Structure 1
Amino acid sequence: MDTARRTPGAPRFLHLAGEQLRWDLLRALAHSDHRVGDLITAVGQPQSLVSYHLRKLRSGGLVTGRRSSADGRDTYYRLDLDRCAELLADTGQGLHPALALVPPTPPAAGSMRGRVLFLCTGNSARSQMAEALLRRRAPHVEIASAGSHPKPLHPNAIAVMREQGIDLSGHHSKHIDEFTGQRFDYVISLCDKVREVCPEFPGHPDLVHWSMPDPSAAGDTPEASYPAFARTADELSTRIGFLLPNLTRTHLTETRRS
């Protein structure tokens, strides 16, 4: 008997990503969180098809959605890169043990260069935490953060970062205008409202959106909102981990000036 006929079916990742449009959607979402309208533009297909395949990707656990804090009628979609890595590992293992994925070696700190700007509305939590987390893992990258309506640093942001051995107590909030005219390799917006008002920066930086809720809105007291700050720190750590390899390949600001 042909043993191939008795083997399990194709791995789940192949079913989910094997269709061309779904693959195009995954690639677009691997770069940035997007709304349906953004994805329609990115893949050049009608809304009915994009929405259909997004539902398939969501039901398969590769993509999640979150209502926009800027316009509740919109939803931002995000690719779960951890889940993709897990399913890809299962796919290789299912074909042959020798094809099991080996976790990538984190890039050496000295190999990462460039300039990164994190933006949110208040520059009081998300963008400050992202700046601090990336700076610890990529000390040779120039990193800044700012907000469209700066507010004092939230005490929970300081407390959560302190648990990770990072001191934010001396940081202060900054307005986006302080960085107008400067060149960056990546401009990463962390809230939906600031994405709508993000100014243009010279040199055509890579614009990335991470749609993340404001942790300070999760409770009426610092005690009530603290768990949301801890979740925000965890999500930022994960997203930054996937950003790091890009910082070894990015076109540096100095190159863009030439």
Structure 2
Amino acid sequence: MSDTLSPPEVLRLTGHPVRWRLLNELARSDLQVRELTALVGQKQSLTSYHLGQLRTGGLVTMRRSSADKRDTYYSLDLAACRTLLMQAGAALHPGLRLIPAAPPPPQVGSAPLRVLFLCTGNSSRSQMAEALLRHLAGPRAEAASAGSAPKPLHPDAIRVMHERGLDMSAHHPKHLGEFTGRRFDRVITLCDRVREVCPELPGAPETTHWSLPDPAAPDQGGYPAFVRTADDLTTRIRFLLHTLSV
């Protein structure tokens, strides 16, 4: 059979029921393998096998937890997934060449969704996410950020946002205890340590975890790590905008 008649690899990868379920769970949050095993109702060995298939296919990435190096977090690469599915449609017929949809406009009269970003120090990742969501969402969302052990805002976080046209010079670190009495629609943890200590907030907000390394950590390589973090957050938040009204 010629290559032109062979289905794109992404269809084989996504077409398996277990892998499709894994992708659905990872589209909502970064998760550990034991969590995914419980969610899909399979043995851990089988879950790990399918995660390996998705990693080989470029749909899923993994990184060691910064809270416990014995744990591993898996993430769905939404940008890669979109590209591969777009290519699959175009391979069948030019008329099926998918065009990324724009985020839905805010509904008239609807209240903005309240989103809280959390990390340990509230010195870089969560502050950057707060600034990016405010900029990209406009009236659709209200963003805030906090940390479990706040420390001064990192100058490279201010610098990388300034290079994107966003001024964080007036931002200041906040303790997550300041928000325990406030209601949020979504709470997004950005580091593995704070995920474990995040208190329950009023109203049972939807929770999501984005397992991002601390760009200020000595082993991350200095300022380029802040650029990578800003790029990753920008991609994730652009995809988040499509779910704000869901």
User: Which category describes the TM-score, using the shorter chain as reference length?
Assistant: over 0.9
CA contact (8 A) 1:89 1:100 kept: yes
Q: Check if 1:12 corresponds to 2:9.
A: yes
Deviation at 1:219, TM superposition (A): 5.7
Cα distance, 1:175–1:95 mapped onto 2, change above 3 Å: same
Paired AA for residue 57 in structure 1: L
Gaps of 5+ in 2: none
How many pairs does the alignment contain?
243
Deviation at 1:167, TM superposition (A): 0.9
Q: Give CA deviations for 1:85-127 in whole Å, capped at 9, x if unaligned.
A: 0110111111111111012123336778210000000000000
Structure 2 distance, partners of 1:152, 1:175, is: 12
CA contact (8 A) 1:187 1:207 kept: yes
Structure 1 distance, partners of 2:219, 2:171, is: 23
Equivalence map 1:132-211=2 (5 Å): 132-140=131-139, 141-211=141-211
Structure 2 distance, partners of 1:207, 1:186, is: 6
Cα distance, 1:9–1:179 mapped onto 2, change above 3 Å: same
TM-score, with structure 2 as normaliser: 0.94
TM-score, with structure 1 as normaliser: 0.90
Q: Give CA deviations for 1:20-64 in whole Å, capped at 9, x if unaligned.
A: 000000000011000001101211211111011011111111101
Deviation at 1:7, TM superposition (A): 3.9
Deviation at 1:139, TM superposition (A): 2.4
Q: Check if 1:212 corresponds to 2:212.
A: yes
Q: Check if 1:126 corresponds to 2:116.
A: no
1:117 counterpart SS class? strand
Show the counterpart of 2:101: 104
Show the counterpart of 2:62: 65
Gaps of 5+ in 1: 250-258
Show the counterpart of 1:95: 92
Structure 1 distance, partners of 2:46, 2:202, is: 35
1:50 counterpart SS class? helix
Cα distance, 1:6–1:189 mapped onto 2, change above 3 Å: closer
Deviation at 1:5, TM superposition (A): 7.6
Equivalent of 1:52 in 45, 49, 72: 49
Cα RMSD of the aligned pairs, angstroms, is 1.7
Q: Give CA deviations for 1:199-249 in whole Å, capped at 9, x if unaligned.
A: 1112121110000000001469xxx51110111000000000000011122
Paired AA for residue 139 in structure 1: G
Structure 1 distance, partners of 2:218, 2:5, is: 44
Deviation at 1:6, TM superposition (A): 7.8
Q: Percent identity?
A: 61
Paired AA for residue 169 in structure 1: S
Structure 2 distance, partners of 1:72, 1:175, is: 26
Structure 2 distance, partners of 1:136, 1:154, is: 20
CA contact (8 A) 1:13 1:88 kept: yes
Structure 2 distance, partners of 1:243, 1:216, is: 25
